[in-house]
Structure 1
Amino acid sequence: MINAILWQPKTGVPWRDLPERYGPWKTAHERLRKWTADGTWEHMFQHVVIKDDAVGAIEWTISVDSSSVRAHQHAAGARKKGAAAPRSRPSRSTVRRLGVPGAG
């Protein structure tokens, strides 16, 4: 069952596509959910770290994700908080009063 639980995140496939050799996917998913909720995974991890660290067999590796995320196309033109509102066109009376040629 542990192999099924570890295989799924490694491959990134949906639970329903779990190979038959691991048994029913619902059983593996449910076991993962229960073990996460009751702290079983944390307990197993702590046990492994303490034993391996004591004999110097543990190698700490840090992985940094450098992927980029693009904003949605509509996010580019959003008005910022406190930014000036777009100016409206002047009214006909304002245009006449200012004496703009060709307006009328």
Structure 2
Amino acid sequence: MHRHELTDEQWKQLEPLIPARRGPRTKKGDRQFVNAVLWRVKTGAPWRDLPERYGPWKTVYNRFGRWATRGVWEGLFKALQLQVDDVGSLLDATIIRAHQDASGAKGGADAMLWAVLEEAFLPRSTPCAPPRANRSK
């Protein structure tokens, strides 16, 4: 079993929630498809970088899109949803995005940017006079 794949216990819980197939059976099966989607979501890699053990990336991508359109993913998430305790909950915010104005990007505070640039480019020493050229007579 690979790092981002479902354990046997997790699959036993998820398998009854998988909708019946429309059309021919897949070569890799439903579990490999779900594992492929989990790998893609956890790694953040492009679909084209999907490992070969999951089958053709385009097939997995197309099936993922069909499930999303039919609302299968939403049904799975709702079925697996845990009851949240009002007394104690934990949220993990490993990524916090700021608005572009917060970083001084276009539309941000230009005055602050110019003040920083002026400070950075202040002369650090007094320039010496250039040497006089020898004048020939």
| Coarse TM-score class (shorter-chain normalised) | 0.5 to 0.7
Give the direction of change, closer, same or farther, for the CA distance of 1:5–1:75 in structure 2 (3 Å limit): same
In structure 1, the residue matched to 2:72 is 40
Give the direction of change, closer, same or farther, for the CA distance of 1:71–1:2 in structure 2 (3 Å limit): farther
Q: Letter of the aligned partner of 1:72 in structure 2?
A: A
In structure 2, the residue matched to 1:8 is 40
Alignment of 1:65-76 (within 5 A): 65-69=94-98, 70-72=103-105, 75-76=108-109
Alignment of 1:81-92 (within 5 A): none
Q: Which residues of structure 1 form unaligned runs of 5+?
A: 54-59, 79-104
* Higher RCO structure (Cα 8 Å, ≥6 apart): 2
Q: Aligned-pair distance for 1:77? A: 3.0
The structure with more radius of gyration: 1
Identity %: 41
In structure 2, the residue matched to 1:77 is 110
Stretches of 4+ moved more than 4 A in 1?
none
| Alignment counterpart, residue 63 of structure 1, candidates 87, 92, 113 | 92
Deviations for 1:49-100, whole angstroms, at most 9, x for unmatched residues? 3xx65xxxxxx7532255344342564439xxxxxxxxxxxxxxxxxxxxxx
The answer on 1:28 being equivalent to 2:60 is yes
> Which SS does the other structure have where 2:62 is aligned?
helix
Query: C-alpha root-mean-square deviation of aligned residues, in Å?
Result: 2.7
Distance in 1, Cα, partners of 2:51 & 2:36: 8
Distance in 2, Cα, partners of 1:72 & 1:31: 39
Q: Aligned-pair distance for 1:6? A: 1.0
Distance in 2, Cα, partners of 1:63 & 1:11: 17
* Residues 104 and 110 in structure 2, CA contact (< 8 A), matched pair in contact too: no
Alignment TM-score, normalising by the size of structure 1: 0.53
